[in-house]
Structure 1
């Protein structure tokens, strides 16, 4: 699996120039700052606190150990989005990758998320994965749900009142998947 295609320069629909590249050891402080500048609802539902440098260091280590592929979107030397393809190296779900994408609010609606989904789908194909999964909090991540549907992810399950927000309100949890067709690995 080649990293030769990075860094990759892309142009968003508003003509903003972005560089997509894998995370590096030196990105720790910028990643912490990226998450600290997000409103609480955008980071609350993650499994770990991304404002803790030790958590980001663990994510970087997982990238280096190939348990995950961590993609950053950079504009003017600032991280404006990150996406991750999580992979299991063993067991009954090693054929399934999980996607998570988080964008700074100023970069939503500009198709940056679509670029990142495409890139991680290609990476999943190269890794031989057969299916992708993405999970969303209904009422908080509705724009993401629509974007993933446009990328041919289908709703597989809805867990009602499954997660709580920072104020104690319950939200449904949407699970979506996409079957990967290996014949289209050159898209």
Structure 2
């Protein structure tokens, strides 16, 4: 299983190495510091406020209880990326996993997000999921939209003026989907 592949080193485009690992309760403070270091406008559109310790505790608990699969990117003890595959064990959407990913500003543009999404895609296939969904705020997360399109996510729906920024301005909400296959193809 994928859990046994962690921790692992990955080389970024700029030559830096980071460690991808599974979160543990002892990572709570580092994960909290990661979210506190992000600008408020980047956290604003999240469903939950990640600078509240109980939110981080719940995310780690969800991973431990297998309601989510999470990966942390670490650089010398500092969390520089957090990715999660959110799962629904029952119901009409149990075949769809939702992605959430954030990368520290000083690590963006170096394929760290790509490494993390690859791991989440592999886990989703191991779990038998058929689709991945990722949602983005247009005009705020355009670079992320472009990045996932390069990974074969496609625009499935657009909700116009669906979310409001901290300034009260409305933004469109882009729903992106990726269809998964049961196994990777090798050549």
The corresponding residue for 1:44 is 44
Q: Whole-Å Cα distance in 2 between the matches of residues 176 and 25 of structure 1?
A: 31
Shift of 1:167: 1.2
Runs (4+) of structure 1 exceeding 6 A deviation are none
Deviation digits for residues 83-110 of structure 1, max 9, x if unmatched? 0000001100000000011011111100
Establish whether residue 138 from structure 1 lines up as the match of residue 138 from structure 2: yes
Taking the TM superposition and a 5 Å limit, the aligned residue runs for 1:74-93 are 74-93=74-93
Q: What residue ranges of structure 1 are gaps of 5+ in the alignment? A: none
Shift of 1:32: 1.0
The alignment's TM-score, normalised by the length of structure 1, stands at 0.97
Q: Whole-Å Cα distance in 2 between the matches of residues 105 and 23 of structure 1?
A: 21
Deviation digits for residues 65-120 of structure 1, max 9, x if unmatched? 10001110001110001000000011000000000110111111001011011110
Contact 2:2 2:123 in 1 (8 A): no
Deviation digits for residues 31-69 of structure 1, max 9, x if unmatched? 111111100121111111100000100111111110001
In the alignment of these two chains, the number of paired residues is 187
The alignment's TM-score, normalised by the length of structure 2, stands at 0.97
Q: Please report the RMSD computed on the Cα atoms of aligned residues, expressed in angstroms.
A: 1.2
